[in-house]
């Protein structure tokens, strides 16, 4: 089964929790044991599994990447001013794979799935969610 998850973002750089939407797709698929494969479309967004309890972790991720890859010094900035966004997305990566165990995402208590926006705000980011497994 495949389902597209639509996400809107409100800031240039932010992490948006999409765990609930992915779990809903798993439930709708009827798959009991298998794999949820996620892929974000777009060259300036990424996906990350990260701590869900303390929002400061998500802020720290954004701040770290901002320090490692600052805005305004890259060759691509001459085109459209988002060279840093492309580099951050490439470093973090566009996909994640999560096991499905007994019809639930196999995340730990402290893990959630985040869309990483590096060139927002955007009215729509699309995460392609492919569910593979046994019913």
Question: 49 near 98, Cβ under 8 Å?
Answer: yes
Q: Is the pTM of this model over 0.85?
A: yes
What is the pLDDT of the chain when averaged over all its residues?
A: 96
Instruction: Give the pLDDT score at 30.
Output: 96
Residue 55: asked if its preceding bond is cis (omega within 30°), the reply is no
CB contact burial 96-108 (16+ within 10 A = b; e otherwise): bebebeebebebe
Please tell me what DSSP assigns to residue 132. Answer: E
Q: What are the φ and ψ backbone dihedral angles of 38, each rounded to 5 degrees?
A: -115, 140
Q: pLDDT band at 52, cuts 50/70/90?
A: confident
Q: Which residue has the higher pLDDT, 87 or 55?
A: 87
State the average pLDDT over residues 41-69.
96
pLDDT score of 38 more than 80: yes
Contact 132, 37 (CB under 8 A): yes
Q: pLDDT tens digits, residue range 73-127?
A: 999 989 999 999 999 999 999 999 999 999 999 999 999 999 999 999 999 999 9
**All structural domains of the chain:** 2-134 (2.60.120.460)
Within the chain, residue ranges assigned H as helices are 19-29, 55-68, 77-80, 83-92
Among residues of the chain, what percentage have pLDDT more than 90? 94
- Whole-number Å distance between alpha carbons of 89 and 6: 18
């Amino acid at each position: 089964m495949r389902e597209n998850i639509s996400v809107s973002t409100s800031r240039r750089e932010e992490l948006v929790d999409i765990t609930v939407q992915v779990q809903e797709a798993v439930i709708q698929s009827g798959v009991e044991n298998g794999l949820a494969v996620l892929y974000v479309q777009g060259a300036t967004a990424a996906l990350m599994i990260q701590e869900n309890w303390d929002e400061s972790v998500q802020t720290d991720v954004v701040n770290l990447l901002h320090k490692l890859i600052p805005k305004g010094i890259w060759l691509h900035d001459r085109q459209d001013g988002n060279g840093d966004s492309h580099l951050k997305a490439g470093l973090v990566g566009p996909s994640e794979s999560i096991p499905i165990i007994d019809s639930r995402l196999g995340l730990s208590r402290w893990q959630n799935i985040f869309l990483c926006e590096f060139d927002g705000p955007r009215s729509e980011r699309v995460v392609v969610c492919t569910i593979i497994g046994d019913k």
